[in-house]
Structure 1
Amino acid sequence: MARSTLTRAEVLDAAALLVRQDGPGALTMRKLAAELGTAVTSIYWHVGNRESLLDALVERTVEEMGALAPSGRTPADRILSVARILRRELRERPHLIAMVHERGLTERMFLPAQQALVHEVHAAGLRGARAADAVRAIQFQTIGFLLVERNRERSPAQSPAENELWDPAAAPHDPALARAMARPADPERLFALSVRALVRSLLEPRG
Structure 2
Amino acid sequence: MPRTALTRDEVLEAAAALVKQHGPAALTMRGLAAELGTAVTSIYWHVGNRESLLDALVERTVQEMGAIRPTGRTPARRVVSVAVRLRRELRERPHLIAMVHERGLTERMFLPAQRALVHEVHAAGLRGARAADAVRAVQFQVVGFVLVERNRERSPVQSPGERDLWDAGTAEHDPALARALARPANPEKLFASSVRALVRALLETPATDVG
3-state SS of 1:195 partner: helix
Q: Which residue of 2 aligns with 1:45?
A: 45
* Match of residue 95 from structure 1: 95
- Rounded to whole Å, the distance in 2 between the matches of 1:160 and 1:115 is 44
- Partners of 2:38 and 2:12 lie apart in 1 by 14
Structure 2 counterpart of 1:140: 140
Give CA deviations for 1:145-179 in whole Å, capped at 9, x if unaligned: 11001100110000001011013454461111001
| Counterpart position of 2:131 | 131
Report the residue type matching 2:166 in the other structure: W
Identity %: 81
Quote the Cα distance in structure 1 between the aligned partners of 2:124 and 2:171: 42
Q: Which residue of 2 aligns with 1:22?
A: 22
Moved beyond 4 Å, runs of 4+: none
Match of 1:107 in 2: 107
User: 1:206 Cα shift?
Assistant: 2.7
Give structure 1 stretches of 5+ with no counterpart: none
Cα distance between partner residues in 1 of 2:173 and 2:24? 51
Aligned to 1:82: 82
Deviation at 1:8, TM superposition (A): 0.3
Q: Normalised by the size of structure 1, how large is the TM-score?
A: 0.98
**Number of aligned pairs?**
207
Cα shift readout 1:72-94 (whole Å, capped 9, x = no counterpart): 11100000000001000000000
- Once residues 201 and 151 of structure 1 are traced to their aligned partners in structure 2, the CA distance between those partners, rounded to angstroms, is 27
Q: Which residue of 2 aligns with 1:185?
A: 185
The answer for unaligned runs of 5 or more in structure 2 is none
Other structure's SS at 1:125 match: coil
C-alpha distance in 1 between matches for 2:167 and 2:15: 48
1:69 to partner: Cα distance: 1.6
**Alignment match, 1:196:** 196
TM-score by length of 2: 0.96
Counterpart of 2:34, as a letter, is A
Q: Give distance in 2, aligned partners of 1:112 and 1:171.
A: 43
Inter-partner Cα distance in structure 2 for 1:140 and 1:117: 13
Distance 1:170 1:199, change over 3 A: closer
Deviation of 1:193 (Å): 1.0
In structure 2, the partner of 1:31 is 31
Distance across 1 between alignment mates of 2:38 and 2:50:
16
Question: Matches of 1:154 and 1:75 in 2, distance apart?
Answer: 35
| Equivalent AA in structure 1 for residue 68 of structure 2 | L
